[in-house]
Amino acid sequence: MDNYKLSGVDVAAGYESIDIIARHVDSTKRDGVISGIGGFAGLFSLAKFKNMEEPILASGTDGVGTKLKIAFAMNKHDTVGIDCVAYSVNDIICTGAEPLYFLDYIACGKVFPEKIGQIVGGIAEGCRMANCALVGGETAEMPGFYPEDEYDLAGTAVGIIDKKNIIDGSKIVENDVLIGIASSGLHSNGYSLVRKILQPDCKNVVEYIDEFGRTLGEELLEPTKIYVRTILDMIQNIEVKGICNITGGGFLENIPRMMPADMTAKVKLGSWEIPPVFSYLENIGKVDHTEMHNIFNMGIGMVLAVSENDADSALKRLNELNEKGYIIGEIAKCGNGGLIYV
């Protein structure tokens, strides 16, 4: 006789996973959460923000991408959840919005409760870093669609900001300064090229690399830095005119997104410290140095545009927040807009 378990879906394992997930969810609660795991929707009260003149919701959604292949090869699943949260909250913080809550989606070939617990544990850790409540999600067991030992992971964050405080880059002018904030490594971009360089099976991820002080796989799985607390602090203390998350497309695609169309970002190559992992990939993959900047973050995870007079204060404040900050360029009114390297 056929039943659901024989078809590949283990309901009992799903229930066990929910129990594990519930403990992680509880650790992310913040003011506003008025629902728990088990309902059909996550509920969040906006009463705290009723004094805003015109409250605007900001939302972002993203996944972890093919970085998950490294997690599969290493059988290490406790950090990719941080990456999942990071990309959504780092995007919405570029508007100046405060992240409020997060929802995740895990699709897998088979539910292994311990593995799901590790994944969601990372998601909860990312939410705590961003002061963002995990209010719900979905774990979909899809036998025959995904291999039993593989999964995909994505999520959505929602934040809020008063309309008058939205940071949209419209105040950026010529001679403003670009401040780069250090990344934690590769973050979660460019991993299709990384895997091509390392060969698709990624069997060499277990190799110990002296310049990293750990295995190649551990270096590649370093989670994406979450900048929420840093950016919210900077906005309170410095006039920040534009904010850019260095994601897919590196510098070339992302920095112009925060500027008026008639402005050009002049980025000075060599003005910041590049972590060893980028040089390692550049050398063994024989990738052009400029092209590396158009694919990876090269050690800069977030870029702020501030006035020339505020640049020193911005660097000082970043130092007080234990962040590495660099002046990496300036805004000019030349050419057809976009970005040039100098």
Domain spans of the chain, in order of start: 11-165, 177-341
Strand duo 177-182 + 151-162: pairing: unpaired
Dist. CA 176–CA 268, nearest whole Å:
14
- What integer is the mean pLDDT of 307-329? 97
Confidence at 1, pLDDT banded by 50, 70, 90 = very low
Q: First and final CA of the chain: distance in angstroms?
A: 70
Element (H, E) at 81: helix 80-92
Do 134 and 102 touch, CB atoms closer than 8 A? yes
Do 120 and 76 touch, CB atoms closer than 8 A? no
Which tokens is 40 given? 């059909």
Dist. CA 222–CA 80, nearest whole Å:
9
Note the pLDDT tens digit of each residue in 161-210. Answer: 999 999 999 999 999 999 999 999 999 999 999 999 987 566 788 889 99
Confidence at 40, pLDDT banded by 50, 70, 90 = confident
Mean pLDDT of the chain, nearest integer? 92
Q: What is the CATH number of domain 11-165?
A: 3.30.1330.10
Note the pLDDT tens digit of each residue in 203-248. Answer: 788 889 999 999 999 999 999 999 999 999 999 999 999 999 999 8
Q: Which residues face 332 on adjacent strands?
A: 264
Confidence at 17, pLDDT banded by 50, 70, 90 = low
Instruction: Assign domain 177-341 to its CATH architecture.
Output: Alpha-Beta Complex (3.90)
CA nearest neighbour of 305 among 218, 178, 132 = 178
φ, ψ dihedrals at 100, nearest 5°: -110, -50
Dist. CA 41–CA 35, nearest whole Å:
8
* Residue carrying structure tokens 């796989």: 217
Confidence at 23, pLDDT banded by 50, 70, 90 = confident
Note the pLDDT tens digit of each residue in 260-278. Answer: 999 999 999 999 999 999 9
In this predicted structure, the answer to whether residue 43 has a pLDDT above a threshold of 80 is yes
Dist. CA 222–CA 188, nearest whole Å:
9
Model confidence, pTM: 0.91
